[in-house]
Amino acid sequence: MCLVTGSSGGLGRAFCRRLAEDGAVVAAAGRNLERLLPLIDELPPVAASSGAGELEGATHLPVQLDISDPASVEAGVRLVEERLGRVDVLVNNAAAYGDLTRAPFWELPLEEWDRVLATNLRGPLVMSRAVAAGMRERGSGHIVNITSATFWSGSANWAHYVASKGGLIGLTRVMAKELGPFGICVNAVAPGFTLTEASRDLMADAETYGVERGSLKRAQQPEDVVGLVAFLASDDSGFITGQTIIVDGGRQFN
């Protein structure tokens, strides 16, 4: 069973669809329950032959939670476990992004810095802690952290976002070391600038932004990222951990 945070956004919806198409039972988490309900209706039903084991016959589940609020996370994960059982895969996708101030670091409001770090860095930590106990007990699991290629580009006027995503790369490495003895893989995916609703709201030239800097000369779509996330959520990636893989059409090399 896969738990995906930030499921009402463009990338989150795409992750949920792909994982469901691959046969997973999906718990789609987000702050606004009403925005999650149409997504649940769009997901393919869980097939009896999907290999879901004890979850065969289950349905996908919308889950209201705020990753910056530990009490909300605890309640949300408890609901998922009561309704669907064990969390085999956690995709830490939720993040503060589209509504952020763009300014030099010395002008960024400190309260906004704190909010971004609480969501983008502490949030994945809180989510991972909430599911790690069950994964450790079973001796298996996959955690996929969605970070950002801005860590390599050092995107100017966005220090809080870049710092939070760079911190998540570091957290991924530590979690991989600490959870590895329990058979749990932890990896990160770093998308480049991806055309989502939030990205289009962020800048007027979103359709062409950064295209000239890429090796592949087209705008990045959410569907460009889902294949890697699905792979890292699967047993095929069972000997890969602690890695951060950039998906940006060859704009950054690592």
Report d(CA 161, CA 236) in Å as an integer: 31
Tell me how many degrees the CA angle 76-117-190 measures, rounded to the nearest 5. 85
Residue of 159, 161, 196, 241 marked catalytic: 161
Residue 244, SS3 per DSSP = strand
Is 161 an annotated catalytic residue? Answer: yes
Distance, in Å, from the CA atom of 213 to the CA atom of 99, rounded to the nearest integer, reads: 25
d(CA 183, CA 185): 7
* CA 62/CA 49 separation, integer angstroms: 23
d(Cα 222, Cα 226) in Å, to the nearest integer? 7
Q: State the catalytic residues.
A: 161
